[in-house]
């Protein structure tokens, strides 16, 4: 799975990480190669475009740490971005099968590996999740398909619904439901008929079954070797029937893997499992982190950058603490705090997270600060010069007027902001002296 892509990217990043200093041009060249590698792996163009744009943006804005090279940092950014691209809702491999008997509807084109996957998943649910599973084939057009499921069932020791000739798919689905309830099954799986192409009859049949079974999960099985087509099929099935997740089969082949990488981004549906062979245990949970790791094959570098980032954050917090203890709390610090507050839902939200601070928050002018106020305060700080931010004592009447005018606000608001900066500075200093650094750090991280 992903070997070619992995080799290609490996080459790009090997060169990049070996270089010490890195210019913007170097990064751009590397990203161009990443772009080509992804396109050659058959990842869809819009997905590639977004991916590269996002990596480029993050690479330009990344905080620089001395202990890692820019190249290593780019690897980490690509790694994180890959995970983001692949991650859907919920835990990897989790299915909503809590209410027994939980129906799982299996849909897909003929030959995609639907019946095989139904049996693989039934085996997994039985063995790993200790569920009692019933399988039923609804493929009335192909008796061989019904028999195939029965044979697989025997092979893996999972029950199948007895075949009754002449029954239509909806009747079979109803019988499966009844049998699952009476027989105390946790899960029943409905293996619908496939066609070579999506046609109206196929969709109508699957929709009718869906309506009687009310499936908790509708899993679409698609052949990973078909690349972009797999993504198109998924989009169409989702539009017409609604799917909750995708199983990509034949990922054991040396396909280019693009389907796996485009699927989530284009269809919005997560890949839940991948098929890695014909054997009954050749089914794996699709785990974005592992897949990203496999594609990049640069786990060491990712771990190194993560560690460096933590160290950098800790150092920054430490430096800030020392300054606060000395009573140095300027407008840059205040701006950071205000932005933090924005994220945490205002002053009270923030204070309420700090033990013992609730009362202090109420005594301060800042209590009850809401989002619009935070935005105005940040606008005021943005209107200050670098020097003024670093040393708010410079702010005399004429400067105040200029700043207020620059942000379209009143001087009285600026005065309030200055008072707040002084109060918070005092508070930070006191807290530092009380030796509650841990608490303050927590609030700032």
Give the pair of three-digit tokens for residue 444. 């700032």
Q: Which stretch binds ligand GDP (CB under 6 A): 165-173, 256-264, 275-283, 351-359?
A: 275-283
Which of 4, 29, 87, 110 touches ligand GDP by CB under 6 A?
Answer: 110
> Are the C-beta atoms of residues 244 and 102 closer than 8 Å to each other?
no
Subset of residues 279 to 298 that bind ligand GDP, contact rule: CB under 6 A: 282
Output 8 or 114, the one with its CB closest to ligand GDP.
114
Q: Does residue 116 belong to the site contacting ligand GDP (CB under 6 A)?
A: yes
Cα angle 383, 384, 387 (rounded to 5 degrees) comes to: 155
Q: Which stretch binds ligand GDP (CB under 6 A): 44-52, 71-79, 108-116, 309-317?
A: 108-116
Output 148 or 262, the one with its CB closest to ligand GDP.
148
* 239 among annotated binding-site residues: no
Q: Does residue 111 belong to the site contacting ligand GDP (CB under 6 A)?
A: yes
Q: Which stretch binds ligand GDP (CB under 6 A): 87-95, 109-117, 160-168, 311-319?
A: 109-117
Query: Under 8 Å CB-to-CB from 311, ≥6 apart: which residues?
Result: 65, 67
**Alpha-carbon gap, residue 161 to 65, rounded angstroms:** 61
CB of 120 to ligand GDP, least distance (A): 8
Q: What are phi and psi of 226, to 5 degrees?
A: -85, 5
Query: Under 8 Å CB-to-CB from 100, ≥6 apart: which residues?
Result: 184, 185, 186, 187
Give the pair of three-digit tokens for residue 228. 């972009």
Output 22 or 276, the one with its CB closest to ligand GDP.
276
Q: Which stretch binds ligand GDP (CB under 6 A): 90-98, 130-138, 245-253, 422-430?
A: 245-253
**Alpha-carbon gap, residue 404 to 243, rounded angstroms:** 54
Give the pair of three-digit tokens for residue 98. 């809590």
* 245 among annotated binding-site residues: no
Shortest CA distance to 274 belongs to which of 246, 296, 238?
246
Q: Does residue 123 belong to the site contacting ligand GDP (CB under 6 A)?
A: no
Q: Does residue 112 belong to the site contacting ligand GDP (CB under 6 A)?
A: yes
**Alpha-carbon gap, residue 98 to 106, rounded angstroms:** 18
CA dihedral over 92, 96, 97, 103, signed as positive or negative = negative
Give the pair of three-digit tokens for residue 439. 């608490």
Output 97 or 222, the one with its CB closest to ligand GDP.
222
CB of 169 to ligand GDP, least distance (A): 15
Q: Which stretch binds ligand GDP (CB under 6 A): 9-17, 105-113, 156-164, 209-217?
A: 105-113
Binding site for ligand GDP (CB under 6 A): 108, 110-116, 194, 249-250, 252, 275-278, 282
């Amino acid at each position: 799975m992903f070997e070619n892509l992995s080799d290609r990217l490996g080459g790009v990043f090997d060169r990049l990480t070996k270089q010490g200093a890195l210019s913007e041009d170097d990064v751009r060249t590397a990203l161009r190669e990443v772009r080509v590698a992804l396109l050659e792996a058959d990842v869809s163009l819009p997905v590639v475009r977004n991916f590269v744009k996002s990596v480029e943006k993050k690479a330009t804005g990344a905080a620089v740490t001395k202990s890692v090279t820019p190249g290593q940092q780019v690897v980490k950014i690509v790694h994180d971005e890959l995970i983001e691209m692949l991650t859907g809702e919920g835990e990897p491999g989790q299915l909503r099968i809590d209410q027994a008997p939980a129906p799982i509807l299996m849909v897909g084109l003929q030959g995609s590996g639907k019946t095989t996957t139904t049996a693989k998943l039934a085996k997994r649910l039985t063995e790993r999740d200790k569920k009692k599973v019933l399988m039923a084939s609804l493929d009335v057009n192909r008796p061989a398909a019904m028999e195939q499921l029965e044979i697989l069932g025997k092979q893996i020791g999972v029950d199948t619904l007895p075949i009754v000739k002449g029954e239509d798919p909806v009747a079979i689905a109803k019988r499966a439901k009844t049998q699952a309830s009476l027989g105390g099954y946790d899960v029943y799986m409905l293996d619908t008929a496939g066609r070579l192409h999506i046609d109206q009859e196929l969709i109508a049949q699957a929709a009718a079954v869906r309506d009687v079974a009310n499936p908790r999960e509708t899993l679409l099985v698609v052949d990973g070797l078909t690349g972009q087509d797999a993504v198109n099929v998924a989009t169409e099935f989702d539009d017409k029937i609604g799917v909750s997740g995708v199983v990509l089969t034949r990922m054991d082949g040396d396909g280019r893997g693009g389907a796996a990488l485009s699927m989530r981004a284009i269809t919005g549906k997560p890949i839940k499992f991948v098929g890695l062979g014909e054997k009954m245990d050749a089914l794996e949970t699709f785990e974005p982190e592992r897949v990203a790791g496999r594609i990049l094959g640069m786990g060491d570098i990712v771990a190194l950058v993560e560690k460096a980032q933590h160290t950098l954050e800790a150092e920054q917090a430490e430096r800030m603490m020392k300054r606060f203890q000395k009573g140095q709390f300027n407008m840059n610090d205040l701006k950071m705090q205000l932005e933090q507050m924005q994220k945490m839902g205002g002053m009270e939200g923030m204070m309420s997270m700090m033990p013992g601070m609730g009362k202090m928050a109420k005594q301060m002018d800042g209590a009850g600060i809401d989002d619009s106020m935070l935005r105005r305060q940040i606008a005021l700080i943005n209107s200050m010069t670098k020097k003024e931010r670093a040393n708010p004592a410079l702010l005399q009447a004429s400067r105040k007027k200029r700043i207020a005018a620059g942000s379209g606000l009143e001087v009285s608001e600026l005065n309030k902001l200055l008072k707040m900066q002084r109060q918070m500075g005092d508070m930070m200093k006191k807290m530092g002296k009380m030796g509650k650094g841990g608490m303050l750090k927590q609030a700032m991280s």
